[in-house]
Amino acid sequence: MEKRILGLDPGLAILGFGAITCKQNPTQVQDTTIDMLDFGVIRTSADAEMSQRLCTLFDDLHTLIQELQPDLVAIEKLFFYRMSSTILVAQARGVVMLVLGQHRLPYIEFTPAQIKQALTGYGNADKSEVQAAVARELNLDAVPKPDDAADGLAVALTASFQL
């Protein structure tokens, strides 16, 4: 059985994504192969009006979902940095949730600590440790760039461990 998982690291300026496939051996459930499908970012211009930035996220996310056809979406939960950036990320997350609802896609959410714990075994791991774990789990020669795309893959991998 194959399952496609799309991982999202929501942001207004940059929304990171990573898509993987999980293939389970029907005779041995513990035998699961995970492969990377795609990764990247959706960018919005800081010079554009807020409404246009949200429209860009909306349109590009619709296109991404149509191209990748995920079975499940994993999203990083909102983490509070500064109030001004939290509000911007919350608005971007609202667009993400709307698009997922329109596609009737199931989703699961993880806190940054849950993602770090799943990939490194340590909930306070730093970014470089998580990125190294992403490259190792997906048998990649290098850490995916930009960082937001690697974060999207980390979220997708965390969901795959829950299957």
76, 126, 137, 151: which is the annotated catalytic residue?
A: 76
Nearest in space to 134 (alpha carbons), one of 125, 144, 126 = 144
Distance CA 155, CA 149 (A): 10
This prediction has a pTM of 0.94
Tokens, residue 84: 């001004």
67 catalytic per annotation: no
CATH homologous superfamily for 2-160? Ribonuclease H-like superfamily/Ribonuclease H (3.30.420.10)
Residue 57 has pLDDT above 60, yes or no: yes
pLDDT tens digits for range 72-97: 999 999 766 555 678 888 899 999 99
Distance CA 34, CA 149 (A): 17
- Could you tell me which residue, 129 or 25, shows the higher pLDDT? 129
pLDDT tens digits for range 91-100: 999 999 999 9
Distance CA 82, CA 103 (A): 31
49 catalytic per annotation: no
pLDDT reported for residue 21: 97
| Mean confidence (pLDDT) of the chain | 93
- Could you tell me which residue, 78 or 70, shows the higher pLDDT? 70
CA atoms 7, 109, 107, 62: torsion sign: negative
Alpha carbon 9 to chain centroid, angstroms? 5
71, 126, 141, 148: which is the annotated catalytic residue?
A: 148
pLDDT reported for residue 31: 75
9, 35, 60, 71: which is the annotated catalytic residue?
A: 9
pLDDT reported for residue 83: 58
148 catalytic per annotation: yes
> Residue 156 in contact with residue 73, Cβ under 8 Å?
no
11 class by beta-carbon count within 10 Å (0-12 exposed, 13-18 middle, 19+ buried): buried
